[in-house]
Structure formats: C-alpha cells, structure tokens
Amino acid sequence: MKRLFKNYKFLLFLVLVGLALFSLSFNGLQFGIDFKGGTIFQIHLAQKPTAEQLSTITTIIQQRIDSFGLRDSSVKSFGDDFVIAQIAETDTQKVEQIETIIKTQGKFESILDGEVVFSGSDIIQIVKDPAAGYGFAKDPLSGAIEWNLPFKISQESAVKFSKTIFHKCKISSFSVQAQNQYDCKVTYFFIDRPTNSVLVFPKEVFQNDSALLLAGSFEHDISAQTDIEELLQNSSIDYFLVDENGFSEEQKAKLVSLALSKEQATVHPKISGKEKNQLKEMGFKVKEFEPKEPGLPWVWAASGARQTISLTPGITGLDPFIADVESQKIYSELVITGTAADFQTAQKRLGDLTILLETGSLPIPIDDVSNETISPFLGKEFLDAAILMGAISLLMVSLIVFIRYRNIKVSIPIIVTGISEVLLVLGIASFFRINLDLASVAGILAVVGTGVDHQIVIMDELMRGEFSAEESLAARVKKAFFIIVAASATVVATMLPIIFFGLGLGKLIGFALTTIAGVFVGVLVTRPVFAEMAKIAVRK
C-alpha cells in the first residue's frame, strides 16, 4: 500500500477525486427538464434557411424566451429546418403564451391607404418609460384598461410617415362658433400579414364580420366603426367570397392566375372539402384557419390585423393648418394605443407586442411548433428512479465481479475504481454546470459498464499464466491497454456524430457527452491507477 501512495498516478487520482467532491459539495448538480420539469419546443421552419438566417432565428427565439424572465432556457438549431427550445416552465397558460410568441414571425407593418408607411425594421427604440406614456391607465367612465406603447422610428421612416399622413383628414362639419369636426383616415397595424396567401371564406362570414368590426370590441382591441372592406383593402390580400354554389368561373380563373405567384390559400373552416380540393388542384397549399379567441372576427385574425388608430387633425397638419407638406412637422416618436376589458389582458397585449417589436421579425416564417411538457412531480420520479438504477447497477456489477474472481482483494479495486469514475464524471458535470437529463444518466451507467469491462480485461491479462519479473507485468498491462484504447476510440468515434449532427433531435447529446467524458476519465486517469492497484493485488 505504501508503494501505491508513492505512485504519481495514484496521487493524481486522489487529487482529482477530491476536486470532484469539492465541486459537487459547492456547485451541486444541474438537472435538466427531465428531472426538474419543463417544456421542449420543436420548431419547424417553413423553408430551409441559410446559415446566417438560422443563427438569426435562434438568437431571436432566445431573446423572446428571455423576455419572460425564465432561467435555464436554451435554443439550438437542429438539422436544416428545425430549432429546439427548452424552458424550465410547465404552467399551461405560460407555455401557450410562449409558444404563440415563438411561432409568430413578427413582421410588423403600419399601413395607410394600402401603403406601408413604416415597418418593424424601422423601429429603433421601444420607450419603456412611464413618464413617456408607457404602461396602463384606467378609463374612469367605462372601466376599460388603456395600454400605451411609445416607440421611436428612424429619421428616414419618420420623414416618410409624416409626409404620407399629411392632410389625411377632411372637414366633416364646419361651424364658426364651434370647433370644426374632422373625418380622419385610419392607420392599420398588421403582424405577419399573409402577403403570400389568398383568403377564402363564406359570404355569411363576411357579413357577420362586417357587423362585428363596425361594433368594435374592447375584448379584442378593435376600434368601433372599423370597415371590413377598408381593412381588406389595406391588407392588400386577395380574397374570395364563396356561397352555396362554390367558386364562380370568374373566381376560378383568377385563382388559377394567382396560384402562379401565391403559395397558400387560407380558408375558413366552413369552406367545403370540394372547394379545398379545387384549390389544391390549382397549386395552392391549403391552410384551414380558425381564430383561437372566440368571437374574434375571422377576417381580422386571418389578415394579421392587430390595431387601428385614427389620425388626428393636429398630426396631419390641419389643426393648426399647414399649407405646405415641406413645412410639416417630422414625427419620429409615436405611440401604439389599445384597450382591454381587464388589466391582465392589457398587460398580456402590451407585453407580447413589446417583445415582438424589441426582438424583430424572423427572416423565415415558422411552419409548425410542437411541445412536450414534463411536470416537476414526474421529473422527481425520474430522478429517484435514476438514482435507484445507479445503485442497483453498482450492486449488480460488484456481485458479478466477486463471483468472477471469488477474491475480495481482487474485486475491491474494480468496484472502487468504478465508483470513482462516476464521481469524476459527475464532478466534471458539476464544474462546467452541465444539465443532466435522462440521456446523461444513461451515459453514466454505460460508463460504469464499459469501465468494469476494461478493468476485467486488465485483471484477466495480469492473472493469465505464470510470470516471474516486473517486466512481465508491465508488458501484460501494456497489451491490455492496447485493447482498451482501441475500444475507447471506437466508442468516441460512435458518439461524435451524435454531438455534431444532433441525432434524435438533440435528446441523445447528453448521453454522448457523459459517455465521452467517462471514456477520457477512464483512459487518462482511472485505468492507469487500476492497473497499479491490480499489479499489487496480483502479486499478493
């Protein structure tokens, strides 16, 4: 034993085990969502992005998730058209809100008379200062909650906006004694306006939506007297009204022509299968759309409309009167204002819009988002089961080793080395704060199995036949190590594609990392130490 403590390999081994225990004591272990609960989003992009676009997409999605103040979130690309996002959140409403924000492309546009006056890329700052108007106010008469979002646009966009709105109000009534009454144009705000799509919906839906829009809605933040035809005109989206007779010949001809430039047909759920099949035959990708919020006008939601804000005589240069557009004031600081029936809804709308405008739009739209949620209670069961599996594995390995050699002095070094390998791998995970998931635990169990296998190779080689000199032991250890290094290299080579290409949507990366860490710990630290202990045991 004294000889062992003089060996530098054994001393290094003791130091590393001590450091691993120190790290585990102070840093602890970081557990992934498999154990502490959370949600995984699998995000499928509508088309294959470039490397630059993919980097931008992952950055924006990470920023959107970070805006919710969540910890332990991660966003990684996978393959050509997938992004995987993990969050430590299981609340159903919160997960649904995050999913909505994630899959929104976020292409913001302000449109007046069918012309885009500025877009999200023109916004240079979101002003979150209550003194500048950011926040909420309660209407003392109606009890509705008004929310305000001030922002600044670039100088070039401010000039375009100010000149576009010039004299966009007209006098509706004139009185010498009283103040003039004005009829002003409306600015429409859209998010993800489906410019590459046509809208197909029944005539009865058009009539129903027309009445809903004219009435307005606090609940859905729609201003009263919103005209459906003006909304559709400003959206610049081709639309088709269908009755019980289906498409007319004129509509069919126009649809065939539009199919050459438009990719998708967004249809109302009441559109029959016959019309949907006809659209597919024309070359459209048919997408059935139904608003998530009950009572929301279908046309409003399908067109991507979010807000309507009426211009004022003052901002359009009519009160006080400005004759020349060149003398028009340049407005670079604007405010989006909305109303909601309660504070919670107002807070959600202001928060969601703030996140989208701050993070910008995704260069490529999201095709689909699916999520998988693990509750904290189920995660605790996973952790308890993993600890139990580890304990049973070590017990079974110890029993098999003892049965194999029937000698406690030979068996103890194998068992001690196996346990130390687990400690060293966990120490590495603790030091680098690597999140451990189920796959990582499976990798650690695999390390135990391969480690014991390699130690048995060393022990069998040392115990094979007679030996008479120190050189004979060293030669046999060298021969055993040749087998071990070759086997370890094979394991590493097998694991690397999982890390670099993310096989299994990234769920196996933890398994690959812990397995590779265990292999390097074994080859560089524990196998050489075990060889020294095994030589002493064999001599005795």
Q: Where exactly are the structural domains of the chain?
A: 2-33+375-539, 38-102, 105-353
Q: What is the pLDDT of residue 11?
A: 86
Amino acid, res. 83: V
Question: Are the C-beta atoms of residues 190 and 306 closer than 8 Å to each other?
Answer: yes
Q: What is the pLDDT of residue 175?
A: 61
**261 Cβ contact partners less than 8 Å away, ≥ 6 residues apart:** none
Position of tokens 């990470």?
Answer: 62
In degrees and rounded to multiples of 5, residue 121 shows phi and psi of -70, -15
**pLDDT tens across 52-101, in order?**
888 899 999 999 988 887 766 888 888 788 898 988 788 888 888 899 89
Three-state SS at 27: coil
**From CA 395, how far away is CA 391, in angstroms rounded?**
6
Q: Which of 97, 101, 55 is nearest to 76 (CA)?
A: 55
336's enclosing H/E stretch is strand 333-340
Alpha-carbon radius of gyration of the chain: 34
Q: What is the pLDDT of residue 421?
A: 87
In degrees and rounded to multiples of 5, residue 510 shows phi and psi of -60, -40
**pLDDT tens across 434-468, in order?**
878 778 888 888 888 888 888 888 888 777 655 55
Note the Cα 245 to chain centre separation in Å: 44
Q: Which string of DSSP letters, residue by residue, matches 444-459?
A: HHHHHHHHHHHHHHHH
Q: What is the mean pLDDT of the chain?
A: 85
In this structure, what token pair is assigned to residue 131? 């003194």
Question: For 529-533, what is the mean pLDDT?
Answer: 84
Q: What is the pLDDT of residue 465?
A: 58
What's the start-to-end Cα distance of the chain, in Å?
A: 11
pLDDT for 120 beyond 70: yes
Q: Which of 123, 126, 190, 188 is nearest to 158 (CA)?
A: 123
Q: Which of 499, 533, 497, 525 is nearest to 513 (CA)?
A: 499
Amino acid, res. 55: S
Q: Which CATH architecture has domain 38-102?
A: 2-Layer Sandwich (3.30)
In which band, very low, low, confident or very high, does the pLDDT at 506 lie, cut at 50, 70 and 90? Answer: low
Specify the range with the lowest mean pLDDT, choosing from 126-140, 262-276, 279-293, 444-458: 444-458
Of 214 and 500, the structure prediction assigns the larger pLDDT to 214
Three-state SS at 408: helix
In which band, very low, low, confident or very high, does the pLDDT at 152 lie, cut at 50, 70 and 90? Answer: very high
Q: Which CATH number fits domain 2-33+375-539: 1.10.274.10, 3.20.20.70, 1.20.1640.10, 1.10.1050.10?
A: 1.20.1640.10
In this structure, what token pair is assigned to residue 127? 């002003």
In which band, very low, low, confident or very high, does the pLDDT at 311 lie, cut at 50, 70 and 90? Answer: confident
In this structure, what token pair is assigned to residue 118? 């500025």
In this structure, what token pair is assigned to residue 431? 């030091």
Question: For 368-390, what is the mean pLDDT?
Answer: 78
Specify the range with the lowest mean pLDDT, choosing from 35-39, 89-93, 397-401, 486-490: 397-401
Q: What is the pLDDT of residue 466?
A: 55
E-strand stretches of 113-158: 115-119, 123-126, 135-138, 145-153
Q: What is the pLDDT of residue 171?
A: 79
In this structure, what token pair is assigned to residue 140? 């003392």
pLDDT for 278 beyond 90: yes
Full-prediction pTM beyond 0.85? Answer: no
Q: What is the pLDDT of residue 504?
A: 47
* Torsion angle of the four alpha carbons 232, 238, 242, 245, in this order, in degrees rounded to the nearest 10: 150
Question: For 205-230, what is the mean pLDDT?
Answer: 89
pLDDT for 393 beyond 90: no
In degrees and rounded to multiples of 5, residue 89 shows phi and psi of -145, 135
Amino acid, res. 88: A
